[in-house]
Amino acid sequence: MTMLKSLMLVAAAAAPVAIATAVPAHAQVAGIAVADPEAAIQNSNAWKTALSQIQTTHKTALDQANARATATQNELRPLVQALQTASRAPNANQQQLQQQAATIQQKEQAAQAEIGRLTQPAQLARAYVLEQINRQLNPASQAVIGQNKLQLLLRPEALLWAGQATDVTAAITTELNRLVPSVGITPPAGWQPGQQQQGAQPAAQPTPTQPAPQGR
């Protein structure tokens, strides 16, 4: 069972483990609580610090990618407008329209390839950071489960309604801050996402705070 699935229904099998900040006694109803694993990681100190370091370390390449994306948008905008205008003309030349569309597509694909090349090191570093933190997500969740004597831990979207007091995401973040206060941002040579240690859980995917530039 993957981490994303296991957090939908986690049995309170682990022995109670103390956490840095105790969750109020009313933070669950009949042993049931909710948690957002992506938010727990995204709000952790290790994730925030690492993202800042990545932005600094790879600033030149990321700035170049942003500039390339902006230049591509400016270049393609009049071409798209011209294509739209030509396509609305009576008796429009379909072959010419296809050629115009192909030109736009080629320019866009070339820009996307270049942007991908520029942002790849930063994206790889981000994946490496995420994997390191994610290894502690299950232990952090189990600690909160034990502390609160939970019988079920669900993702928020699995419930039709839940009061704010039932959410233990912040408690999991607190436990992550204790278990993994910091991580490295430089992957080992040849490292690729998914190369976790044997038995490690697949990485949950928090929403990036600064998405990679897009071609359009």
pLDDT in tens, 71-87: 999 999 999 999 999 99
Q: Token pair 């407008």 is at which residue?
A: 81
**Long-range contacts, stretch 158-166, CB < 8 angstroms, 24+ apart:** 158/8, 158/34, 159/34, 162/34, 165/24, 165/26, 165/27, 166/27, 166/28, 166/29, 166/32, 166/33, 166/34
pLDDT in tens, 52-78: 999 999 999 999 999 999 999 999 999
User: Which pLDDT value is given to residue 202?
Assistant: 42
pLDDT at 17 over 70: no
Determine the Cα–Cα distance for residues 170 and 140; give it in Å rounded to an integer.
11
Which of 44, 50, 49 lies closest to 174, judged by CA?
44
Which of 201, 183, 61 lies closest to 118, judged by CA?
61
Other Cβ atoms less than 10 A from the Cβ of 205: the count is 14
Phi then psi for residue 10, to 5 deg, are -115, 125
Output the pTM of the full model: 0.71
Phi then psi for residue 65, to 5 deg, are -65, -40
What do you get for the CA distance between the two ends of the chain, in Å?
37
Determine the Cα–Cα distance for residues 56 and 53; give it in Å rounded to an integer.
5
pLDDT at 106 over 50: yes
